[in-house]
Amino acid sequence: MLKENFEEVEERIAAACKRSGRAREEVTLIAVSKTKPAEMIRDIYDLGHRDFGENKVQELTAKYGILPGDIRWHLIGHLQTNKVKYIVDKACLIHSVDSLKLAQTISREAGKHGCCVPVLIEVNVAGEESKFGVSPVETEELIRQIAGLPGISVRGLMTIAPNVSNAEENRPVFRKLRELSVDIGGKNINNVTMSVLSMGMTGDYEVAIEEGATMVRVGTGIFGQRSYSIQN
């Protein structure tokens, strides 16, 4: 079941890349394993996959401790400043930076570990009340402020698009994030690259790829439905 799901997602990604004239290697699939047990992650790992996403610090660190060390763990959920210390040396990429305060905390904790933490800025493109993230107009200013901090480096942008029934409805959202990324990339801000565009989930990752996603975050499409009681 898992294997079939995974292979189907892989096929769809390949097809979306082909349709949009992109190389398959330009897009990283992040298997979003939140709420799912280590054994399921291990099954996907055994297929050769290495990029996994978690939205909670505690869950990421618990799984980090019991699964192979060559897994690349992506923190994709909202991050509280008091939890930063637990993950700065465990996440390969933090997708959800949306305030200077959070960036400053990451910078400080990275200093203690002597590492540099790559991050993405989470942008609330659609302006949804319920979502974290900075507004598109605030994004460049936040990036300029973070650029001056040691131990943290901005690598791109992330968005969580609205929950829609037809993925096409999110195309303008993905396009807008891409345009923002091109804009900011053109400013050549020191210590900042716009090489990553993390956008697209189970319902809309193909459209996201057509609009330039370099990372897609797929949970349900690989692992199946999450049990509601422990979701988020």
**Region of 125-133, 167-175, 182-190, 198-206 interacting with ligand PLP (CB under 6 A):** 198-206
For ligand PLP, what does the binding mask look like between residues 61 and 80, x meaning CB under 6 A?
---------------xx---
User: Per CB under 6 A, does 81 bind ligand PLP?
Assistant: no
Residue whose CB is nearest to ligand PLP in the complex, by number: 219
One DSSP character per residue, the chain reads -HHHHHHHHHHHHHHHHHHTT--GGG-EEEEE-TT--HHHHHHHHHTT--EEEES-HHHHHHHHHHS-TT-EEEE-S---GGGHHHHTTTEEEEEEE--HHHHHHHHHHHHHHT--EEEEEEB-TT--TT--SB-HHHHHHHHHHHHTSTTEEEEEEE------SSGGGGHHHHHHHHHHHHHHHTT--TTEEEEEEE---TTTHHHHHHTT-SEEEESHHHH-PPPGGG--
Binder to ligand PLP among 87, 160, 207, 208 (CB under 6 A)?
160
Candidates 17-25, 128-136, 137-145, 213-221; binding stretch for ligand PLP (CB under 6 A): 213-221
178 binds ligand PLP, rule: CB under 6 A: no
The answer to whether 217 contacts ligand PLP (rule: CB under 6 A) is yes
Instruction: Name the residues that contact ligand PLP, by CB under 6 A.
Output: 32, 34, 55, 76-77, 160, 201-203, 217-221
